[in-house]
Structure 1
Amino acid sequence: MVLSQDGNYIWDGTKWIPVQQNLPQHQQQLPPTIPLHPAYAQQNIVYVQTHRKSNKFWLLLGGGIFAVLIVILLLLGAIIWALLPPPEFGHRLDVSHSTYEDLGANREPYLVSEGYPDFSSTVAISDFGSGVIIGDRWVLTAGHVVLDEEYGEEQPGAWVVSVGSDYENPDATYDVKAIHIHPGWRADNSNDGLEYGVDIALIELTSSIQGVTPAPWANSTELDDDFLDSLIYSSGFGDYGSIIDDGSGDYYSQRRAWKNTLDRLSDDIDPPKKYSGDDVWQGGWVVYDFDSPEGDDNSLAQGENSGGLFSYVGVGNSSSIALDLEGTSVPGDSGGPTYLKINGEWTVIGLTSHGSTDGYYGDLALNTRVSSHADWICSITGSALTGCE
């Protein structure tokens, strides 16, 4: 029991009881207020502590779950990244990139005397693309290298042609006198005309190139389906350096070359409109795909035309066997040559135009067919150019 402060009442747990029952009423005081019972106070403290512990538990649990989810997402991202091929590789990943550079520079064992194409005629067009020397003052390249929807057309004086296997350290450079763009490409002035096979331009130099033999080029219609499944070589200054580092932080500057198999040929492609002078300049394609060492990325297999964006390459057949130096083009290779041996001579039959942009296994490379434009080339150069006699 609890005694009131004045000593006149006792709390029995339910009510106040006067200590002296016989006190006159006027002497009786009002009972005091109910005291703070220790039991009640303790219950309140326990409730508050329990409530705080409950909040802390859920906060810790939520934080733990969030941390686990972050770790799982990071692991999944790392796995996906590891499974994806590196960007813009363009060559077999089980072969050193330096081997492709040796081929592109005709270093041993890839000597011209051993039956390989002479890649010294493959040149760099400023830092935009590649090209091939076909005469002492003439270089073939892709139309989009010198006239592009995004960058427009620059004046001849803005361009430089670099000779040698490393365009950052060229053997020689040559100034440009004039740029002649195929009328079909100029008429579109956009990449929408890619499918018509008119992505070609001719660069005229101010002086003759010294120390390099111009490449023979296909100037007739002798190139037919009998050449399908034949060995071809291509070369260029493409940026496959995304998986290597030359320390410059810029585009990788080495010329490289690679092998492939000729999968598709097309010719006499009618453009959607006539060009200046009411002449219709028909286009054409030289096409190959990039087969993987496992043989499971044959995009142009029998009955396939790659579908979708590149359905215009047509239906045909393709070997799934990757060659020892199998490769494909990447950005920067545009305008570079594709060679096929015709009558015992490595001959330029195509110019790298477009295709799948990343150089993954299974990607396609579409090359402007040079023989489709023999008349146009000779109309610019005249009969002085070998092949225009």
Structure 2
Amino acid sequence: MSAWRCALVALFISVSLPASAILGGLPDGDAPDSPERRVDPDGCESPWAGVVSVLIGNGVFSGVVVGDRWVLTAGHVAAGRRLSPGDVRVRVPCGPLTAGVLEVVPHPGFAGYKSDRINLDDLALLRLREPLPEAVPRYPLFDRPPARGIVLTLVGYGGGGNPRDGVTVGARADTKRVGENVLDDWVSRPGQGPAAYVWDFDGPDPASSLLGGPSLGNRREATVASGDSGSPAFVRDGEHWSLVGINTFQIQLPAKPPKISVPPPHFGSGGGGMLIAPYAAWIRGVIDAAR
């Protein structure tokens, strides 16, 4: 990693916020966008029918099916319900059906969300009371380090909006949105390999591209915002969609000359989450141990 990127990471970990909604482009951009255009069909016909809403109290979050009775989400979403898993429900769009949670299994390294850093190990598995119907997709794990520059497809149940006005439509358990961004860089654990990924939210002005690379375009580029932590990031892997990460944070990025950029979820901000590859053995071990 270059000296500039090292300095960048040191700066943006001090302004990390929980992640969430899929927020797209401007309504009056070159290719006009809207929150409604980002909505995915909420049923079995969608390739994202295994992306689920996680319901805790009045909160709506996201997760993804990784086994017959297992959903993966962010640790900061569900870890606090480890002793009361009955407080957590999962709404599965393919049906639809609402599933009860028998067990919450946070990653053992997750010690709670802190806003002054990118929180590694921010993952939790939800064990459902009953197996899911066969029609619900179970997504394979992308268990090798992804390359910088790959396109991520972000799918979640948070609110919608645009980069000028922020979130304008609240999160709903039955409204799933889809967008894309590019994996711009990794965050590594000291002495080890990459554990998290980051992107920037590029607008039409090149000055908003703080991690490099052009925008994917007003109708494709997206980021996360408050309301949807635990949403999955997918990559196309041959003929299949594979789970490459779980979105867990949004960040302010240092601009040039050095200063803190606009707050998320506006153009020039960023986001990211936990890579699946370094956690794949833990995910499979928890699932296998419960069989």
TM-score (norm 2): 0.74
Partner of 1:6: none
Partner of 1:182: 107
Q: Are 2:207 and 1:296 equivalent residues in the alignment?
A: yes
Q: Are 2:196 and 1:285 equivalent residues in the alignment?
A: yes
Task: State the distance in 1 between where 2:287 and 2:116 align.
Answer: 24
Does structure 1 conserve the Cα–Cα contact (< 8 Å) formed by 2:82 and 2:104?
A: no
Identity of matched residues, %: 24
Shift, 1:124, TM fit: 0.7
> Which protein is richer in strand relative to its size?
2
Rg larger in 1 or in 2?
Answer: 1
Shift, 1:293, TM fit: 3.0
The structure-2 alpha-carbon separation of the partners of 1:258 and 1:352, relative to structure 1 and needing over 3 Å to count, comes to: same
Does structure 2 conserve the Cα–Cα contact (< 8 Å) formed by 1:100 and 1:325?
A: no
The structure-2 alpha-carbon separation of the partners of 1:216 and 1:323, relative to structure 1 and needing over 3 Å to count, comes to: farther
Identify which of 54, 67, 70 aligns with 1:125. Answer: 54
Amino acid at match of 1:375: A
Identify which of 155, 161, 174 aligns with 1:235. Answer: 155
Task: Structure 1: give runs of 5+ residues left out of the alignment.
Answer: 1-87, 113-117, 272-280, 302-317
Which structure exhibits the higher relative contact order, with contacts defined as CA atoms closer than 8 Å and separated by 6 or more residues?
2
Partner of 1:328: 223
Does structure 2 conserve the Cα–Cα contact (< 8 Å) formed by 1:286 and 1:349?
A: no
Shift, 1:238, TM fit: 1.1
Does structure 2 conserve the Cα–Cα contact (< 8 Å) formed by 1:144 and 1:191?
A: no
Shift, 1:194, TM fit: 5.2
Task: State the distance in 2 between where 1:174 and 1:284 align.
Answer: 30
Counterparts of 1:304-383 in structure 2 under 5 Å? 318-322=213-217, 324-356=219-251, 358-382=264-288
Q: Are 2:42 and 1:96 equivalent residues in the alignment?
A: no
Amino acid at match of 1:139: V
Shift, 1:296, TM fit: 3.2
Task: Structure 2: give runs of 5+ residues left out of the alignment.
Answer: 1-20, 28-32, 252-262
Shift, 1:367, TM fit: 1.1
**Deviation sequence 1:305-341 (CA, Å, 0-9, x none):** xxxxxxxxxxxxx334536321111122211100112
Task: State the distance in 1 between where 2:125 and 2:22 align.
Answer: 28
Amino acid at match of 1:363: S
> Which protein is richer in helix relative to its size?
1
Shift, 1:287, TM fit: 1.7
Does structure 1 conserve the Cα–Cα contact (< 8 Å) formed by 2:24 and 2:219?
A: no
Alignment partner of 2:99: what SS? strand
Aligned-residue RMSD, C-alpha: 3.0
Task: State the distance in 1 between where 2:117 and 2:123 align.
Answer: 10
Q: Are 2:122 and 1:199 equivalent residues in the alignment?
A: yes
Shift, 1:106, TM fit: 7.6
Amino acid at match of 1:130: S
The structure-2 alpha-carbon separation of the partners of 1:343 and 1:153, relative to structure 1 and needing over 3 Å to count, comes to: same
